[in-house]
Chains A and B, each alone.
Chain A
Amino acid sequence: MNISTSDVILLAHAAFGVTGCLAALWVFVEALNAQSGNAARIRAAALMTALSMAAAWICGGYWYVHFYPAEKAVILMGPWPFAHNLFMETKEHLFLITGILAFLLPVVAREKLYPNAVARKLVLAVAALIVITGLAVEGAGAVIEHGAKVALLRGGLKGDR
């Protein structure tokens, strides 16, 4: 088995991102049934969302700065250059919005949701936005990796022809 540091960091990035999305979904479901009894669970899940997204941000950022340039060159010479030009360019900026929303979630989850309908609505909205943008970013990550894969396996690199 030959697992490089690059592989570990990239997979950790995706795993933390999925964990953050699941934690935000957990907040959403708990907030739908907000009671005095689940207030602590909502705050814990909101904190888990922020911590997971921060870890995904750090791992993804480190990988992007140190390892992505080589993969970008491969993608751009392959049959799916849009995997970088559209999907990576969008993902690397859209993720920052997901991250900001993830940091916002523990702040708004400090509200007393049980007696406050508008606070519940706010937590539901923030959690839903994290899940939607987070899943879009995860999907974009899959397209980017596939862009590198088809460059190496299917079409070959333009530079090789």
Chain B
Amino acid sequence: MNSATAPELPKLTAVSSGFVLAAAITALFNTALAWARDAYAPLNGILKSLTGNPWIAHCLADLVLFAGLGFVFAKTRAAEKIDPSRLIGALIAAVAIAALGLVLWFAFV
């Protein structure tokens, strides 16, 4: 890298920061929905009635939430106000918590 010829731009675009925040929220939502489906069987019935298979409905819910929140955050520039390093930390923490939450839930609950 030649930082002498290129000035540092310490910010992310509204689109990037918006979709990063959306991904962090979606990762946590994904684990919460998995817990809810496992703990409350009728929820699977409701999801099954929507798409024929509860897992497909779970996938679609994640994709719609990620895309929807991403576009809203990008449009409103809401995530742009968050410090970029904090945003990156939040994404890593959300994925780690979500992944660990799934493993521990299915291992012990």
Residues of A within 8 A of B (CB): 33-35, 57, 61, 64-65, 85-86, 89-90, 92-94, 96-97, 99-101, 103-104, 107-108, 110-112, 114-119, 121-122, 125-126, 129, 133, 136
Identify which of B8, B56, B95 contacts A117 (C-beta below 8 A).
B8
Is the CB–CB distance between B106 and A85 below 8 Å? Answer: yes
Identify which of B1, B16, B26, B85 contacts A111 (C-beta below 8 A).
B16
> Taking A86-B107, A122-B84 as contacts, is the C-beta distance between A96 and B6 under 8 angstroms?
no
**CB-based closest 8 A-B pairs:** A115-B6, A89-B106, A118-B84, A116-B9, A93-B34, A104-B23, A107-B19, A108-B16
B72 lies within 8 A of chain A by Cβ: no
Identify which of B9, B55, B95, B102 contacts A101 (C-beta below 8 A).
B95
Distance in Å: Cβ of B8 to nearest Cβ of chain A? 6
Is the CB–CB distance between A94 and B23 below 8 Å? Answer: no
C-alpha gap A149/B88 in the complex (Å): 41
Residues of B within 8 A of A (CB): 1-3, 6-13, 15-16, 19-20, 23, 26-27, 30-31, 34, 38, 53, 55-56, 58-59, 62-63, 66, 70, 84-85, 87-88, 91-92, 95, 98-99, 102-103, 106-107
Is the CB–CB distance between A122 and B16 below 8 Å? Answer: yes
Q: Which residue of A lies closest to B26 (CB)?
A: A100
C-alpha gap A94/B97 in the complex (Å): 11
Q: Which residue of A lies closest to B62 (CB)?
A: A96
C-alpha gap A117/B85 in the complex (Å): 10
Please indicate the chain B residues that have their CB under 8 angstroms from the CB of A101 in the complex.
23, 95
Is the CB–CB distance between B9 and A112 below 8 Å? Answer: yes
C-alpha gap A75/B91 in the complex (Å): 35
Distance in Å: Cβ of B60 to nearest Cβ of chain A? 10
Please indicate the chain A residues that have their CB under 8 angstroms from the CB of B63 in the complex.
100
C-alpha gap A64/B56 in the complex (Å): 10
